[in-house]
Amino acid sequence: MPDRTPAPGGATAVLLLLADGRFPAGGHAHSGGAEAAVRAGRIRDQDDLAAFLTGRLHTTGLTAAALAAAATAAATDPDPDRLDDLDRAADARTPSPALRATSRRLGRQLLRAARAAWPHPALDRLADRHPRGAHHPVVLGTTAHAAGLTPAQAASLAAYESVNGPATACVRLLGLDPYRVAAVLARLAPELDAVTAEAVRAAEQGDLPAASAPLLDILAEQHSTWKVRLFAS
């Protein structure tokens, strides 16, 4: 069988590919709590959206980014215990069963796409040990390693995904002006980089953050009981 692993040196393009909403990892079907926040009247305009995204970025975004960075480093270790520990750490940091299920579903979908794009023993081990899906940040970090990215790049992807999905969802849910939503995201860029740096530092020190936001958990549980919804979470 020919070795289809891409040569190193394509890291920038790989990063763009992974961050692209068209990469088939299933993220487009999720609103990151925005759908429930819109229904509850908590996001009505772009200012509410900016506050929602800022809150999400500094809480679950930071936690996911640190887990992803730690997983990139742990994936270099042939002993799978470190990744399993990170999966348990992600479980403990996700008290909402609805969000745990979402994170594992997104992890499973990303793993499928990643194994096709960047075949690697670390991805195979993760699939073997977590047949129902590992947590998304753990898969993201392992994917980053398989694709030749650094822990910082994995953290940056996780931080970006923590805001990009809900922002795009609000264009559909509220009919917000997509140019104004793009401006909200552009203004968040320095904070995204700051959160990424904080996440990498925490992961290097082995002191994973557990930042959380109370309404995100509550809204996720409410959303999971709806019979009709536009987004899966």
Structure tokens at 36: 């429930």
Are the C-beta atoms of residues 78 and 2 closer than 8 Å to each other? no
113 binds another protein (CB under 8 A): no
Q: Among 15, 37, 64, 74, which residue sits at the site for another protein (rule: CB under 8 A)?
A: 37
The angle that helices 151-174 and 11-19 make with each other, rounded to 10 degrees, is: 30
Number of residues in contact with another protein, rule: CB under 8 A? 35
| 123/192 with CB nearer another protein | 192
| Spatial separation of the C-alpha atoms in residues 145 and 10, rounded to whole Å | 13
Q: How far is the CB of 169 from another protein (least distance, A)?
A: 13
Binding to another protein (CB under 8 A) within 179-208 occurs at 191
Full DSSP string of 159-171: HHHHHHHHHHHHH
217 binds another protein (CB under 8 A): yes
Structure tokens at 29: 């079907």
Query: x/- binding map, residues 39-58, to another protein, per CB under 8 A?
Result: ---xx----x--xx-xxxxx
Residue 114: name the closest of 14, 233, 1 by CA.
14
155 binds another protein (CB under 8 A): no
Q: How far is the CB of 53 from another protein (least distance, A)?
A: 8
Are the C-beta atoms of residues 86 and 138 closer than 8 Å to each other? yes
Q: How far is the CB of 191 from another protein (least distance, A)?
A: 8
| 33/165 with CB nearer another protein | 33
Q: How far is the CB of 41 from another protein (least distance, A)?
A: 9
Q: Among 83, 114, 138, 211, which residue sits at the site for another protein (rule: CB under 8 A)?
A: 211
Are the C-beta atoms of residues 158 and 92 closer than 8 Å to each other? no
Residue 68: name the closest of 15, 124, 131, 7 by CA.
15
Three-state DSSP state, 49:
helix
Q: Which residue ranges make up the site for another protein (CB under 8 A)? A: 33, 37, 42-43, 48, 51-52, 54-59, 88-89, 91-93, 95-97, 100, 191, 209-218, 221-222
